[in-house]
C-alpha cells in the first residue's frame, strides 16, 4: 500500500480544474492509456501570455490525478514561459512528496506542460525553444530506449540530470523506463554513466570556484578578519579600525587613533586592510575610507 501525503490525497479526492478549457490556446497530451497513464492539459492565455485557466483530463492512478490537479493550481496566473521552467520536483514538492515508485506522475505533468507550451508557440509561428531555461529542447525527439513504455533517451537523460538519479531503478520510478521486459536496462545504465560523469565534472568545477557568500556571511567574515588579522597589527602602532558599512563588494571603514589622518593611511587601507580581506573573505572586495 502506498503512503500518500495529505496533499496528494486531497488533490486525488477533490481534484481541481477537471475538464477541458473551451477553445484552448494550448494543448499538451502525453502518455498512453495502454501504458497505464495519460494526461491532456489545456490552457487559456490572456494578451500578455499569462495563464488565466488550466484544466486537465487524466487517466491513471491517484498520484497521476493528484499531480495533474496540483499542476493546474500551480500554473494558473503564471506567465507561460515562467510556467515552462517548472520541473517535476517542483510539482512533487507542491504535493509534499510522492512515493518513489510514483515520481513518474510528476514527470508526466512536466511533460504535458512542456507539450502545451510547445503547442502554443507553434500556433503562433514561434520557435519552440526561445529561452534555454524553459527546458523545451528536443521535444519531441530522441531515440526510443524503452519500447515497453515508449520512453526516449532524451527524457531519461533530462530526468536523470534534473533529479540526480544514479540507478536504473530510480529511472524506472521517474519515467517507467525499464519497468517492463528490462531489455533496455543496459542502455539506461549507459545513459546514467554518461550523466553521472558529467555531473561529477560539473561538481568539481563548482567546488573549485570561489564560494558565493550571502551578505550576512560576508559581514561576519569581514568582522572576524578585522578582529583577528588586522586590528592587532594596527593597535601595536597606536591605531585602530572600525567597520562602518558593507555594500556588496565595497567595505567602508574608518581609521582610528594614530592611523586617522596618517599620510600612509591609503597604503594601509589598500596594501594591508584590503589585501587581508581579499585573502580571507572574497578576492574581489574593495576598501574605502570613511572620514569621521
User: Where do runs of H (alpha helix) occur along the chain?
Assistant: 6-13, 62-75, 80-83, 88-94, 103-123, 153-163, 168-175, 185-208, 215-225, 231-236, 265-267, 274-280
Q: Is 262 marked active-site?
A: no
CA distance 59 to 46: 28
CA distance 267 to 265: 5
Whether residue 172 contacts residue 155, with contact meaning beta carbons closer than 8 Å, is answered with no
Active-site pick, 35, 61, 148, 262: 35
Q: Grid coordinates standing for 15?
A: 481534484
Q: Grid coordinates standing for 81?
A: 514561459
Active-site pick, 61, 105, 148, 184: 105
- DSSP codes of every residue in 104-124: HHHHHHHHHHHHHHHHHHHHT
The owner of cell 586617522 is 260
Q: Is 35 marked active-site?
A: yes
Q: Grid coordinates standing for 107?
A: 514527470
CA distance 63 to 85: 21
CA distance 157 to 247: 42
Counts for the chain of helices (H) and strands (E), in that order: 12, 8
Alpha carbon distances (Å) from 211 to 174, 202, 219, 227: 32, 15, 15, 22
Residue positions annotated with a catalytic role: 35, 105
Amino acid at each position: 500500500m502506498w503512503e500518500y501525503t495529505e496533499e496528494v490525497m486531497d488533490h486525488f479526492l477533490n481534484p481541481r480544474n477537471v475538464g477541458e478549457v473551451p477553445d484552448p490556446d494550448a494543448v499538451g497530451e502525453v502518455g498512453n492509456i495502454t501504458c497505464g497513464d495519460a494526461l491532456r492539459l489545456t490552457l487559456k492565455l490572456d494578451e500578455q501570455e499569462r495563464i488565466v485557466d488550466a484544466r486537465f483530463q487524466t487517466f491513471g492512478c491517484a498520484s497521476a490525478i493528484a499531480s495533474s490537479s496540483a499542476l493546474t493550481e500551480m500554473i494558473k496566473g503564471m506567465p507561460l514561459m515562467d510556467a515552462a521552467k517548472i520541473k517535476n520536483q517542483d510539482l512533487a514538492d507542491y504535493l509534499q512528496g510522492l512515493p518513489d515508485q510514483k515520481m513518474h506522475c510528476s514527470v508526466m505533468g512536466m511533460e504535458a506542460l512542456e507539450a502545451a507550451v510547445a503547442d502554443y508557440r507553434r500556433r503562433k509561428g514561434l520557435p519552440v525553444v526561445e529561452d534555454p531555461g524553459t527546458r523545451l529542447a528536443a521535444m519531441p525527439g530522441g531515440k526510443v530506449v524503452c519500447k515497453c513504455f515508449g520512453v526516449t533517451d532524451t527524457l531519461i537523460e533530462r530526468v536523470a540530470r534534473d533529479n540526480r538519479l544514479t540507478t536504473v531503478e530510480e529511472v524506472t520510478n521517474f519515467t517507467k523506463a525499464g519497468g517492463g521486459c528490462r531489455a533496455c536496462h543496459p542502455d539506461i545504465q549507459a545513459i546514467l554513466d554518461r550523466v553521472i560523469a558529467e555531473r561529477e565534472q560539473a561538481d568539481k568545477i563548482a567546488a573549485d570556484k570561489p564560494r558565493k557568500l550571502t551578505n550576512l556571511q560576508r559581514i561576519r567574515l569581514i568582522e572576524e578578519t578585522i578582529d583577528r588579522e588586522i586590528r592587532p597589527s594596527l593597535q601595536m602602532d597606536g591605531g585602530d579600525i572600525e567597520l562602518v558599512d558593507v555594500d556588496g563588494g565595497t567595505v567602508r571603514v574608518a581609521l582610528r587613533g594614530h592611523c586617522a589622518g596618517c599620510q600612509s593611511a591609503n597604503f594601509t587601507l589598500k596594501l594591508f586592510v584590503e589585501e587581508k580581506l581579499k585573502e580571507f573573505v572574497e578576492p574581489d572586495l574593495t576598501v574605502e575610507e570613511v572620514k569621521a
